A and B are shown apart, each in its own frame.
Chain A
Amino acid sequence: MTGLWVALATLALGSVIGVVRLRRDGKVRDTARADDRLATADLGADLGERATLVQFSTAFCQPCRATRRVLADVSGLVPGVAHVEIDAESRLDLVRRLDIMRTPTVLILDSAGNIVKKAAGQPRKADVLAALAGAVSHISSQNADEM
């Protein structure tokens, strides 16, 4: 009998996890570590003039390819936005420092390299575009503070 209950409990748990994942996967959220900055040296690539989309990928990652397509699209669409893809395995130092748990994880950096947004899972193009608008306004409000 125990086995039956374990099976039912597992399927119920799986349903809850699945629904939560469907709703949260790829959601672009404000990151709690907004003070962390990534520089050209960290990325091994130049920052975008206005913003940078940093994608962490691994070889054993199904949605990484689709994510690459979305981000390449966005960086082609919005001038001054760079797309940098990082192989998580060869940069475990960054993975630990930035607390990356899954691939793909996408970070949105403002022009100074501040991490302003983070998405775990494949983000939708519209969400990335909206988040970029936020990242750019983040820059202009900073500039306003300095003036």
Chain B
Amino acid sequence: MRADPRALRFSAAITTAILALVLVTGSAWPTAAQVLLAAQALVFALGAAGRSPYAVLFKALVKSAPRETEDARPPRFAQGVGLGFAVVGLVGYLAGITPLALVATAAALLAAFLNAAFGFCLGCETYLLIRRLLPAAKLEVPQ
């Protein structure tokens, strides 16, 4: 499967805004933060499945074809990593463990921001590190 790199950057920019909003609203308006983070977790899950709603939105807004496409597997894997952090952050907010909520959400925000602003896929790069630590964690790679 191929992905439009412009849609990936666009998705990362929206994700950055949502996660920053989660952090900002977290203390004063925790319900809003929890709902937003739960929604973002769902988006991560859909993105990992190759059905990112943000990419669908981009496709609806921008009609032109991309000049080049790229392999969709690395960003999909990274969405899965994002899902992991969002779930941990959500548990932190729901259980009232504020440091856990802040650290996990901030980690996801950092990765989304690096992707949006610099085109670096931090989530992708964790793959080899995870494999180094856990050789059994090999993922079947669907083409």
Residues 66-104 of chain B, each 1 if its beta carbon lies under 8 Å from chain A, else 0? 000011011101100000000000000000001000100
Residues 106-131 of chain A, each 1 if its beta carbon lies under 8 Å from chain B, else 0? 00000000000000000000000000
Which chain B residues border A33 with CB–CB below 8 Å?
A: none
Which among A11, A22, A60 is the interface contact of B77 at CB below 8 angstroms?
A60
Which among A3, A10, A92, A101 is the interface contact of B26 at CB below 8 angstroms?
A3
User: Does chain B have a CB within 8 A of A37?
Assistant: no
Once the chains are docked, how many angstroms separate the CA of A22 from the CA of B26?
32
Once the chains are docked, how many angstroms separate the CA of A21 from the CA of B113?
14
Q: Is the interface of B mostly helix, strand, loop or mixed?
A: helix
**Nearest-CB distance from A15 to chain B (Å)?**
7
Residues 84-120 of chain A, each 1 if its beta carbon lies under 8 Å from chain B, else 0? 0000110010011000111100000000000000000
- Closest-by-CB residue of B relative to A103 is B128
Which chain A residues border B135 with CB–CB below 8 Å?
A: 92
Residues 60-101 of chain A, each 1 if its beta carbon lies under 8 Å from chain B, else 0? 111001000000000000000000000011001001100011
Of residues A4, A10, A102, which shows the largest number of chain B Cβ atoms within 10 Å of its Cβ? A10
User: Does chain B have a CB within 8 A of A41?
Assistant: no
Is the pair B141, A59 in contact by a Cβ cutoff of 8 Å? yes
- Closest-by-CB residue of B relative to A7 is B23
B: residues with CB less than 8 A from A are: 20, 22-27, 33, 70-71, 73-75, 77-78, 98, 102, 105-106, 109-110, 113-114, 117-118, 120-121, 124-125, 127-129, 131-132, 135, 138, 141
A: residues with CB less than 8 A from B are: 1-4, 6-7, 9-11, 13-15, 17-18, 21-22, 58-62, 65, 88-89, 92, 95-96, 100-103
